[in-house]
Structure 1
Amino acid sequence: MPQLSPEGQAAINAISQRTGFSPDAVTSMLFSVIAGNGSMAQFSHPEFGGSGQWMRGGMTMVSDMFNNYLKGRVDGLCSELSNLVANQPGLTQSGSFQSQSQGGGYSGSGQWQSSGGGMGMGGNQSSLFIPDASGNFNWWPADLGQPASTGAQNSVRYAYFPGSHRLAIDLNGQVTVYDSLDHQIGGFSQQQGGSGSLTFTSQYGTVFVSNLPIVSGAPQAPAQAYAPPPPVYDPPPPPPQQQTYAPQPQTFGNPLPPLGQNEVISAIEKLADLHAKGILSDQEFSTKKAELLSRL
């Protein structure tokens, strides 16, 4: 951006005190008014509530559309800057300026174009700005000559040179020159996201500036597309194993110790008594009797 002269900085400070906006906000709006040839502005600054538009004659749009107090302040600021620009020879020239919001209502993106020699900073010197070493205010390379159209919005400016198929973009003071190929550029659009969202319209529709070949200067970073991370799947748990029954081997204890004869006879008599009473069956009595006899 051109550097303010001491007179220009003093004018900015005076307007800042009268309107209550900071010098940074006033300077930002000054460039927007200059880009609109002094009669309109497309701006974006936190002190203005974000993005908005102004047109001389009473049309003021801010993001908070019901904030009439802010609208009045912005309108007063733009009116003062419009009068300031009108009193500076060479800052603006007659031409056309187009502003178009996307999708009904102002959404922070738009198109801007100023034809007929650009912002008019070449030629007559203005006391608001300090001229460069060549004695003019042109920010594009001198070998490109005079553009057919220029424009600006926020921190981005462009100059279009259809004769040499060149497009100069100034982003935050970094100038990049592109080969415009066979595009017939009719307007630019900038989303609220930086250089990666800078596009232009031509006979082929909407085209990203980052897709053009670079002739000189640093490339503008393209918009980064969001790529979701690959899904991570946990391996399925193994199927439950069926429990198989394994019979335990049958173990036999130590053989019963031998008994004396009297013990065996006494035990048999008891078994016989139980058998007589019907407590033991014939089979049970015979089995127990044989077991006792085997222990003699």
Structure 2
Amino acid sequence: MQTFTEHGQSVINDLSQRYGISTDAVTNMLYAVMNGNGTMAQFSIPELGGSGQWMQGGMTMVGDMFNYGLQNTVNNLCNELSNILSSQNPPVFMSSGSHQSQYQGSGQQNLNYGQSSLFVSNTSSGNWWPNDLGMAASTGAQNNIRYAYFPVTQRLAVDVNGHVTVYDTLDHQIGGVSQQQGGGSSLTFSSQYGTVQIDSLPVVSVDGQMPQPQAPVQNNQPVFNAVQEPAPGNQGASESDIFALIEKLADLKQKGILSEEEFATKKAELLQRL
């Protein structure tokens, strides 16, 4: 998780006192609202009825479903947290100006908490993840692996032995990343869909570079081997057959199925048969 500034910690403490819950409960709800881009939150906080869900302007559900006082507390807290986060600079949400507080506290006045940053700036060049990902909602480390989650840009950065891979998190709301026991660099993450293999996410970049497309495999052989070509001992292959095969290989290279090196190797082999 991010480090709070002195102002951020005072905001957490004030909310804790006003709502009569622990600072840990306020902090967990803060990140739940952040992960929901300020308009929703899915949470599991014992002090607030266990598992529940909040939607801005919609229904608030808590584990103790008939405790309307608790529902009102969760609704007011989430609306206030959304308003605080939406006024942060730099912005926490993709479109922070669109969030308007619906907090109707009992005589409490909104204190414009967002005028100062809640979090210690993480925009310095010392970060290990790409700068264009924005503000990390949470970070963690285990063994030789580090991760940072960016709900605004829907990205997850994972550093394994100094190699940084950025994944598209799609509609997952990631709650944590872990390394499987005895699984080497095999990772899983937890989201609203349960435990998911990280390999199921699309790769955006590896060490700042776009991932190279891999040649499909057919019968345990790269696809270029599936292009029918004259047998090595067949000396009767015509020049037109050879050039036709080279054109097919060139087409595969143009589509990104073959690399430049693979194309050059196969082309040289075919030309030797002329």
TM interval, shorter chain, is: 0.3 to 0.5
- Higher Cα Rg: structure 1 or 2? 1
Superposition TM-score, scaled by structure 2 size? 0.46
TM-score of the aligned structures, taking structure 1 as reference length: 0.43
